[in-house]
Amino acid sequence: MGLIIEQPYNSYTAQDHAVWRYVMRQNIRFLSKYAHGSYTDGLRKTGISIDTIPHMYGMNRILKEIGWAAVAVDGFIPPAAFMEFQAYNVLVIAADIRPINQIAYTPAPDIIHEAAGHAPIIADPEYAGYLKFFGEIGSKAFSSARDYELYEAIRHLSILKADPYTKNSDICSAEEYLSYLEQNTGEPSEMSRIRNLHWWTVEYGLIGDVNDFKIYGAGLLSSIGESMNCIKPKVKKLPYSIDSADFSFDITTQQPQLFVTPDFGHLNTVLNQFADEMALRTGGVKAIKKAEESENTATVELSSGLQISGTFKNSIIRNGKAIYLKTDGPTSLCFENKEISGHGKSYHSHGFGSPLGALQNGLKLQNLSSGELESHGFTTGSRVNLDFESGIKVSGIFEYSIIRNGNTLLLGFSDCTVSLGEEVLFKPEWGMFDMAVGEKITSAYPGPADPDAFDYHFEAPKEFTHKIEHSSKAQYLHALYRKLREARENVHATMDVESFAMEILTDFPEEWLLLTELAEYLSDKGMAEDLQMKISNHLEELKKADPELDRLICDAMALMVDYH
């Protein structure tokens, strides 16, 4: 697909592993009380390491046992592609990890969010079923042409924020542009509205009732800052319903309201309600308009079962009905998601057009067998004249019919003229007129009916996450993290803790995470009480200077109490 990458495991620094360890330990400490029971059960079932960032290969071996798989991707991928993966029980994991200055909350998807947030909860069979169903419906939701522009702006901002060396001015500019797009997107598309449902359930969902709830959304499960914040009264708790589709979200900040579902079954109920409003299920004029507005490959299915896949443009609508379908460029004709032999993109390379609707004489072409067609004058070499209720006229020499499961899908005519009043829609010199048979549109959705035959794939994003080039000072800091980690994991290791602590306090006095890890190491070893006090006093000064660090450091020190 061009979206899957190799997990850059050797690029993770010792500081990255320390960030993972901090978040995971905080999650277990806090979420054991506030998360849905299936989360802590899932952590055990999926075997996700607490101390080190997991390898994708190991995760896949474990996920396979619950019917899922995982792939590494580069940050945000297009929503339609994300849904497609989910429909096939594939968990998409952004391979990067948040920088330490976003340890409590990050707007970018990262391995903490995906592996520690999504993976454990899908061990619950009922919830996993909802995720798969959501992927199936979500992958059939139409995006507007503006949606992709919005996606690229979100991806760009998340890439900037994930790079600790990005200038603040660049982040501000990206935020301003994203805000502009969000305020000027026009009528929301199916994809934008179903993404809201995804956000308020899969990412930020609560379960129970508005006064007594548990956390199950991966965005909350992987954000120690927001998971603690969400239980406070200042964050509104609303009953989850289809109305949630009209609540947009801001990835750059914590959410002002959250939605509470009574149980996982209710999630499917709401999703079905939403799907009933989609072009996927409504068909009709709405469906063809959605297909055209997407300005991309789409499939329109007719009442006969014929599927037309291409870029729809300039279809003719009269009196609230689609009377003539048109595609521009390569088009494929399919039945039951398989391309009909001889009707692929190479044959319909310049587009496709066909009338829809009932005939004036009431004849139901799609219901006729080959014998019945012949009895109504459809014999090879005979001229046939068809008058549609819409006013479209077809006159040509009958050449062939294609029938599947008792339904006529296509009728072929040579020397054919198709007209609507004075307008000629098809001329004899254009060759064979392959007429789609079907009185109405029953469904429409993005993408081709037969992706393999259409040679359809999702394009990789144009912008890639930054390969972080750490300074020599940062590399030295990471070496200190690694040294402490090795000492912690090797019971026989020794190190000069006095000089080690002085290096940190002198060269990296703001490095609170490394200092709290050192304090924990000293406490575990029962050594250097004077040094422990010195570190503790320094951490107190950091807390006074920064309210955000106050909470992070307090939480880190609380772990020392919990683990002893």
State pLDDT tens for residues 201-255.
Answer: 999 999 999 999 999 998 888 887 888 888 999 999 999 999 999 998 877 677 8
Residue 460 lies in a domain: no
Same domain, 481 and 386: no
What is the extent of the structural domain holding 46? Answer: 4-274
What does the DSSP assignment read for 238-262?
EE--GGGGG----TTS--SEEEEES
Whole-Å CA distances, 302 to 37, 51, 237, 280: 46, 55, 43, 12
Same domain, 127 and 175: yes
pLDDT higher than 60, residue 563:
no
Residue 453 lies in a domain: no
- Average pLDDT value for residue range 159-177: 87
Residue 243 contacts by C-beta under 8 Å, 6 or more apart in sequence?
A: none
Query: 105, exposed or middle or buried, with CB in 10 Å at 0-12, 13-18, 19+?
Result: middle
Q: Domain with 26 in it: what CATH number?
A: 1.10.800.10
Reported confidence tier of residue 562, pLDDT bands at 50, 70, 90: low
- Average pLDDT value for residue range 269-283: 97
Bridge pairing between strands 383-387 and 392-404: antiparallel
Nearest-5° angle of CA 238, CA 239, CA 245? 85
Most confident residue range from 179-193, 384-398, 519-533: 384-398
- Average pLDDT value for residue range 324-335: 97
Residue 402 lies in a domain: yes
Chain position carrying tokens 């903490």: 112
Same domain, 316 and 233: no
For residues 294 and 448, the answer to whether their CB atoms sit within 8 Å is: no
Quick one: pLDDT at residue 270?
Answer: 98
Same domain, 348 and 231: no
3-class DSSP string for 53-118: CCCHHHHHHHHHCCCCEEEEECCCCCHHHHHHHHHCCEEEEECCCCCHHHCCCCCCCCHHHHHHHH
DSSP class of residue 388 equals B
Same domain, 311 and 407: yes
- Average pLDDT value for residue range 88-112: 86
Same domain, 485 and 349: no
Reported confidence tier of residue 542, pLDDT bands at 50, 70, 90: very high
Same domain, 224 and 303: no
Residue 322 lies in a domain: yes
Reported confidence tier of residue 88, pLDDT bands at 50, 70, 90: very high
Q: How many domains does the chain have?
A: 3
Same domain, 507 and 384: no
Same domain, 38 and 105: yes
Q: What is the mean pLDDT of the chain?
A: 91
pLDDT higher than 60, residue 564:
no
pLDDT higher than 70, residue 61:
yes
Same domain, 255 and 218: yes
Residue 531 lies in a domain: yes
Same domain, 269 and 303: no
pLDDT higher than 80, residue 107:
no
- Average pLDDT value for residue range 138-158: 87
Quick one: pLDDT at residue 28?
Answer: 83
Residue 201 lies in a domain: yes
For residues 135 and 84, the answer to whether their CB atoms sit within 8 Å is: yes
Same domain, 73 and 32: yes
Reported confidence tier of residue 313, pLDDT bands at 50, 70, 90: very high
Quick one: pLDDT at residue 561?
Answer: 62
Closest CA to 316 of 288, 343, 295, 293: 288
Whole-Å CA distances, 156 to 151, 161, 175, 541: 9, 9, 10, 36
Residue 38 lies in a domain: yes
For residues 183 and 177, the model is more confident at 177
- Average pLDDT value for residue range 355-370: 92
How many angstroms separate the first and last alpha carbons of the chain? 48
| CB atoms inside a 10 Å sphere around CB 26 | 21
Residue 318 lies in a domain: yes
